[in-house]
Amino acid sequence: MTAVREDVLKRAEELLPPVEERTMPLSFQDIPMSRMVCDDDKVEKYEENVSRMEAGMPVGQGKGSKIPYLKKLIADQNEINRRLIFVWKRSIELSKEREALEKRAEALMIDLRRKDR
Amino acid sequence: MNIYQILVTLSFGDAVSNDCLAIHKLLTDNGYNTSIYAYNIHEKMKLPYVKHFNKLPSIKANDVIIYHLSTGTEINRMLRNMPGHKIVRYHNMTPAHFFAGYNGITARLCGEGKNETLLLKDTFEAGINDSDFNTEQLISYGYTCPMETVPILIPFGDYEKEPDMELVKKLDDGVKNVLFVGRIAPNKKQEDLISMAYAYNRIFEDKIRVILAGSATGTERYLDRLKKYAEALEVSNVVFTGQIPFKDILAYYTAADAFVCMSEHEGFCVPLAEAMKFETPIIAFDSCAVPETLGGTGILLEDKNPYRAAAALHVVLNDKETAHKIVEAQNERLKNFSYERVSVQMLDAIKKFTKEGAAK
């Protein structure tokens, strides 16, 4: 089989045009990379968006691409609000407690001063 | 004891899936308890013996896992801690750089797959790889387990089915059909076939039709670039078939006057064996497992010069005696891939690595 191969390649060589004519008007690398989106890109973009979202970073440029980020933002805001309300309620409770303790402490001080006399 | 074949994706028509299904049939026919587990299962592959990987039962110490390693996946990481006798069937992994800019996910999976293959080096008790090229790569990764080469099990009986005769007739129009079958994928270098078509059109008067048969799912960007390249070169005699039914593939093979492969990465390259089956003379770029599969047959190109490829093609297309000699040699080579011969090799290897018949 080697002989057949060599024969084909030798005869092929004889058919070639002169070296200077063996040109290509352009190579494949001259064709710019397509920007079209394939299905896998969408999945990858989504994955990338989720990781950006988790890192608290805005996602994408288009309106659609911001939706997950906005959802996360709203969810975050709700969580913050819930915590603020808790802190606010707790602070009211604490202030009432403090007020009561202060009154009690004042009463105790009055009582002690009376006893000292 | 049971034999479990595990792979990431059981698809429809690809080499790894077909190999897995053929091994399943072989094992079942020989009385083994066996089933297939995959993460992704094609609609057409939802068969009683095919189950989702999550349903893999607890493996016993004397069970056997035949693992089809071909991409990056979390199964690669899970496999290390699984019990049982583990045999690798390595189909090779496309280097990630081919997919850069075309498909980020595939590039990432290929890159991770290589690292995971390296990490799995001490996991397997044996290897039954489909080419020496693949076996040698595992050895270079530090694999020390005993390994054998058993070619891909191809059920050639399927190729006896009736092709789409209308398509065969349509292709019989005096134009010579130059075929390549394979996914539209950057490692398969379909652009080199377009360059070759350009050179052919420039230097020869006879007309050829370059048929690129294969799906471009996930490589749409590459397909788009290929089409633009053909357009820029004003090469109108290139046909992209897209995903086609099997009877159409049979029709293209039936009508093909030559099969040209410019691929730069193949772990075996089943279409070469298919072209041999259809007695189509092969011209291929000398790379990876291609010369091994050709086994000294076909015309091997040492470089990618499109003019040289076109001239070699012209000789093969126009010299019947030479084409006949090439096909004769290919027919001899094809005997090595016959279902019967590979079945025996596969069974022998499985018996050997599962402690001789204890598998039943």
Structure token digits, residue B45: 């592959």
SS3 label, residue B126: strand
To test the contact with chain A by mutation, choose from B221, B302, B321 the residue with the greatest count of A C-beta atoms within 10 A, namely B221
Q: What is the pLDDT of residue B154?
A: 92
**How close does chain A come to B66, measured CA to CA in Å?**
29
Cβ <8 Å between A15 and B314: yes
Residue of A nearest to B313 (CA): A12
Closest CA to B26 of B79, B57, B66: B66
Q: Name A105's Cβ contacts closer than 8 Å, sequence gap at least 6.
A: none
Q: What is the pLDDT of residue A37?
A: 59
DSSP of A19-52, one letter per residue?
A: GGG---S--GGGSPPP-PPPHHHHHHHHHHHHHH
CB atoms within 10 A of CB A33: 13
With contacts defined as CB-CB under 8 Å, which chain B residues touch A23? none
Q: Which residue has the tokens 């053909």?
A: B230
Chain A interface includes B324 (CB < 8 A): no
**How close does chain B come to A12, measured CA to CA in Å?**
5
- The per-residue b/e assignment along B117-146, b for 16 or more CB within 10 angstroms, e otherwise, is beebeebbbbbbbbbebbbebbeeeebebe
Cβ <8 Å between A4 and B307: no
Q: What is the pLDDT of residue B14?
A: 84
Interface ipTM: 0.86
B148 beta partners: B128
Structure token digits, residue A47: 């994955």
Chain A interface includes B201 (CB < 8 A): no
Q: Which amino acid is at A20?
A: E
The C-alpha angle A74, A79, A80, rounded to 5 degrees, equals 95
Chain B interface includes A54 (CB < 8 A): no
CB atoms within 10 A of CB B333: 20
DSSP category for residue B59: P
Q: Which of B194, B225, B311 sits opposite A15 (nearest CB)?
A: B311
Q: What is the pLDDT of residue B357?
A: 44
Average pLDDT estimate for A105-115:
87
Cβ <8 Å between A16 and B221: no
Closest CA to B151 of B357, B325, B334, B360: B334
Cβ <8 Å between A26 and B312: no
With contacts defined as CB-CB under 8 Å, which chain B residues touch A41? 103-104
Strands B299-301 and B282-285, by their bridges, are parallel
Chain B interface includes A38 (CB < 8 A): yes
Kindly report the pTM of this predicted structure: 0.81
Chain A interface includes B104 (CB < 8 A): yes
Cβ <8 Å between A5 and B224: no
Chain A interface includes B187 (CB < 8 A): no
Q: Is the pLDDT of residue A49 over 70?
A: no
A12-21, A76-85, B5-14, B80-89: least confident range: A76-85
Q: Which of A1, A13, A25 sits opposite B329 (nearest CB)?
A: A1
Cβ <8 Å between A31 and B219: no
- The per-residue b/e assignment along A48-87, b for 16 or more CB within 10 angstroms, e otherwise, is ebeebbeeeeebeeeeeeeebbeebeeeeeeeeeeeeeee
Q: Is the pLDDT of residue A41 over 70?
A: no
Phi, psi of B330, deg, nearest 5 = -65, -40
B279: left (phi over 0), alpha (psi -120 to 50) or beta: left
Alpha-carbon span B307 to B311, nearest angstrom: 6
In a structure prediction context, what are the per-residue pLDDT tens digits for chain B, which is 360 residues long? 899 999 999 988 788 999 999 999 999 999 999 999 998 898 888 899 999 999 999 999 899 999 999 999 989 989 988 999 999 999 999 999 899 888 888 888 898 899 999 999 999 999 999 999 999 999 999 999 999 999 999 989 999 999 999 999 999 999 999 999 999 999 999 999 999 999 999 999 999 999 999 999 889 999 999 999 999 999 999 999 998 999 999 999 999 999 999 999 999 999 999 999 999 999 999 999 999 999 999 999 999 999 999 999 999 999 999 999 999 999 999 999 999 999 999 999 999 988 644 444
Structure token digits, residue B92: 């090779």
pLDDT band with cut points at 50, 70 and 90 for residue A68: low
Chain A interface includes B119 (CB < 8 A): no
With contacts defined as CB-CB under 8 Å, which chain B residues touch A30? 232
CB atoms within 10 A of CB B64: 25
> Residues B209, B239: contact at Cβ < 8 Å?
yes
With contacts defined as CB-CB under 8 Å, which chain B residues touch A5? 299-300
